[in-house]
């Protein structure tokens, strides 16, 4: 009974969060390199705000939204029972232990098993929020290891634009500004592609979607 109530509450909260995200950002999804498809995918995006996956999630068609789980840091999302409810029950996050060196379960295995159960993932390969003036931090190797473990699944680069202006670090009240979420063409790990080659290609594909393009 409590479980049913909790899942109803989680659904309502999810709708409220989507509505709020639209009210503040009038967010628009631009599918430039691909289309929303009923197909398992790994969306990887730039990360500058706690709201990033909310925005990406909001522009996915509701049917895909239900099967898409963000990969997030356990240290942040287990801080309080409210955050835990949002992180685990509303967004069904795959929580990764970033702090512990020898985590009980290796992150790549956690993500792989989430993929094996049929869900899509939202991944922030920079590993942490980008607070610098650079457009992207160097990617951590997680994306490469995941692509090696599950090579058949599409990797879709997603550029989230303007959200860092909506909620700069340390502010609590979001500023209404228009945001866009741009989806690029699918990537796959190529045969005998090295880790650094693959990560460089993935970074370039993501940067190409930003308003300044590849060159800036």
| Beta bridge partner(s), residue 156 | 43
Q: CB-wise, 19 or 178, nearer to another protein?
A: 178
Q: What is the DSSP letter of 19?
A: H
User: According to CB under 8 A, which one of 38, 171, 192, 212 is a site residue for another protein?
Assistant: 171
Subset of 19-48 contacting another protein (CB under 8 A): 26, 28
Shortest CB 180 distance to another protein, Å: 9
Inter-residue long-range contacts of 69-78, CB under 8 Å, 24+ positions, other chains counted: 69/93, 69/94, 69/114, 69/119, 69/120, 69/121, 69/122, 70/94, 70/121, 70/122, 71/96, 71/107, 71/111, 71/121, 71/122, 71/123, 71/124, 72/96, 73/98, 73/128, 74/98, 75/99, 76/50
Kindly state whether residue 141 participates in binding another protein, applying the rule CB under 8 A: no
The reply on whether position 173 binds another protein by CB under 8 A is yes
**Which one, 26 or 32, has the nearer CB to another protein?**
26
Spatial distance between the Cα atoms of 124 and 44, rounded to a whole number of angstroms: 6
Considering the complex, state which of residue 30 and residue 88 has its C-beta at the smaller distance from another protein.
30
- Of 124, 144, 145, the C-alpha closest to 136 is 124
Closest CA to 48 of 201, 181, 198, 188: 181
Residues 177-206 contacting another protein, CB under 8 A: 177-178
Cα 134 to Cα 131: distance, rounded to the nearest angstrom:
8
Which residue stretch of 78-86, 109-117, 174-182, 188-196 sits at the interface with another protein (rule: CB under 8 A)? 174-182
Shortest separation between residue 24's beta carbon and another protein, angstroms: 8
Stretch that binds another protein, among 8-16, 65-73, 97-105, 166-174 (CB under 8 A): 166-174
Contact 48, 56 (CB under 8 A): no
- Minimum distance, C-beta of residue 104 to another protein, in the bound complex (Å): 39
Of 7, 128, 168, 204, which lies in the binding site for another protein, with binding defined by CB under 8 A? 168
Query: Which of positions 43-72 make contact with another protein (CB under 8 A)?
Result: none
Looking at 34, 40, 148, 162, which residue binds another protein (CB under 8 A)? 162
Measured from the CB atom, the residue of 80 and 134 that comes closer to another protein is 134
Closest CA to 72 of 95, 43, 46, 89: 95
Binding-site ranges for another protein (CB under 8 A): 26, 28, 162, 165, 168, 171, 173, 175-178
């Amino acid at each position: 009974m409590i479980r049913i109530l909790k899942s109803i509450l989680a659904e309502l909260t999810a709708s409220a969060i989507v509505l709020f995200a639209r009210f503040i950002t009038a967010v628009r999804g631009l599918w430039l390199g691909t289309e929303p498809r009923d197909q398992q995918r790994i969306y990887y995006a730039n990360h500058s705000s706690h709201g990033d996956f909310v925005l990406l999630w909001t522009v996915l068609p509701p049917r895909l939204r239900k099967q898409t789980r963000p990969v997030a840091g356990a240290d942040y999302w287990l801080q309080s029972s409210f955050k835990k409810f949002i992180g685990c029950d509303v967004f069904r996050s795959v929580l990764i232990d970033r702090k512990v060196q020898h985590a009980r379960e290796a992150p790549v295995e956690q993500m792989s098993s989430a993929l094996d159960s049929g869900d899509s993932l939202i991944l922030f390969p920079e590993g942490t929020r980008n607070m610098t003036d650079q457009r992207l931090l160097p990617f951590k190797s997680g994306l490469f290891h995941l692509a090696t473990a599950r090579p058949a699944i599409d990797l879709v680069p997603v550029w989230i634009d303007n959200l860092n202006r909506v909620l700069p670090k340390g502010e609590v009240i979001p500023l209404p500004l228009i945001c866009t979420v741009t989806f690029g063409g699918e990537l796959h790990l190529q045969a005998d592609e090295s880790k650094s080659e693959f990560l460089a290609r993935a970074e370039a594909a993501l940067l190409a979607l930003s308003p300044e393009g590849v060159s800036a």
